Amino acid sequence: MKQYTVVMLYAFILSGFLGFSQASQVSIVEDFKPSSVNQPGQQYPQVNSQSRVRARISAPQANKVQLDLGGVKYDMVKDDKGTWTGDSNPQDEGFHYYQLNIDGASVPDPGTLYFYGAGRLGSGIEIPAKDQDFFALKDIPHGLVSENIYFSRLTNSFRRCFIYTPPGYNENATTHYPVLYLQHGSFEDETGWSAQGKANLILDNLIAVKQAVPMIVVMDNGYAYKTQNNNRDKKEQLVSVFEEVLITEVIPMIDTKFRTIANRENRAIAGLSMGANQTMRIMMKHLDTFSQYGGFSGTSNYPSSDVIDPSAFLNGKYKDGDFINKKIKLFWLGLGTKEPSPFPKSVGAFRAMLDQQKIKYVYYESPETAHEWLTWRRCLKQFASKLFR
């Protein structure tokens, strides 16, 4: 009787385990399709209707392969041909960086296009968003994104920025345009806004339906350094000079090479995360240069401070926000509703300071997005539709 009970108990546990396993498999909908950012002709990675990612790679000699996505590593399974396949849990909508881990070495997935983010060129995956129409490629007039290489005397190096010129720029040779200077975030570069952010398509689509004023967009690299001697130990150190590069080199160059409306009323500056912090500080020091500001997932107290000194924000010159309200035509802030700490707290503290100083601003929340490109795409759409009005 005892032996029978043990056997039945084992059978029950085994059947339960198999049932759980089958349920897990059944819960995955087999309608996977190749990601929209795959290399041409590559079938993997794929995404299904549940927003799961399926990765596949041939690595016959490997002992362990994992899909590393969103901070979670998913074990992949090898078949008899040496091909490893693995699925993720459902992911948030939008663009995400990821990589594969092969026997402890993190490498890009050869199936995807490569994007510069997280301080490296690596793989990206696009989880289809319900509102993706606003950055979709459509049969409408399109602007041009061009690469502009220049020599910076401040950094003693060659640098580049990418320039978006709106539809009709080359055809209408006498028309001049307002300019938005748009910055990337930490560990990204000047390619981010057009590659991951789809800024050009967002502007094309807005302009096509007259929801945005045709404008030029300048996307430069926020990492700019020069060497200088440390007076204490006489050693050279790197000092950030991005503000000086932008104000004294980039803006004059853009106004010379492109048909801009070269005044503060027609010049705006914006950025995401680290770029929001940079552009905020630049804006406040150069109110004679810019009249409109956009901060996406960041402010001048980025990334962690939950307090801000109003006098520091106002450069110690003004006791209240009246002057700011007169100078800044559009003061715009945006944040995702799922942003991780410390961003909600720091942006909240900054907004409280603005309210205290009676500084007028526009605030937008991107629903169900975190510190990621779908948040910033939505922010750009909302911000650009209000620029230069």
331 touches 360 (CB < 8 A): yes
From first to last of its 389 residues, the chain has per-residue pLDDT tens of 334 333 333 343 333 333 333 334 548 999 999 999 999 999 999 999 999 999 999 999 999 999 999 889 999 999 999 999 999 999 999 999 999 999 999 999 999 999 999 999 999 999 999 999 999 999 999 999 999 999 999 999 999 999 999 999 999 999 999 999 999 999 999 999 999 999 999 999 999 999 999 999 999 999 999 998 776 766 788 999 999 999 999 999 999 999 999 999 999 999 999 999 999 999 999 999 999 999 999 999 988 888 888 877 876 665 568 889 999 999 999 999 999 999 999 999 999 999 999 999 999 999 999 999 999 999 999 999 999 99
Whole-structure pTM value: 0.90
C-alpha torsion 242→245→246→252, nearest 10: 180
CATH superfamily of 133-384: Alpha/Beta hydrolase fold, catalytic domain (3.40.50.1820)
Can you give the residue ranges of every domain in the chain? 29-128, 133-384
As assigned by CATH, the class of the 29-128 domain is: mainly beta
Cis peptide bond N-terminal to 166, omega within 30? no
Q: Which of 128, 92, 131 is nearest to 382 (CA)?
A: 131
| Amino acid making up residue 92 | D
Greatest Cα-to-Cα distance within the chain, rounded to the nearest angstrom = 97
User: Could you tell me if residue 244 is left (phi over 0), alpha (psi between -120 and 50 degrees) or otherwise beta?
Assistant: alpha
Report the b/e string of 338-366 with b at 16+ CB within 10 A. ebeebbbebbebbbebbeebebebeebbb
- pLDDT attached to residue 4: 36
264 touches 288 (CB < 8 A): yes
Structure tokens at 218: 């300048």
Which residues are CB-contacts of 56 (< 8 A; sequence separation ≥ 6)? 43, 44, 45, 83, 84, 85, 111
Residue length, the chain? Answer: 389
Structure tokens at 307: 């307090």
Angstrom distance (rounded) from CA 380 to CA 43: 31
- pLDDT attached to residue 388: 98
Q: Which of 186, 183, 191, 45 is nearest to 116 (CA)?
A: 191
Angstrom distance (rounded) from CA 233 to CA 215: 48
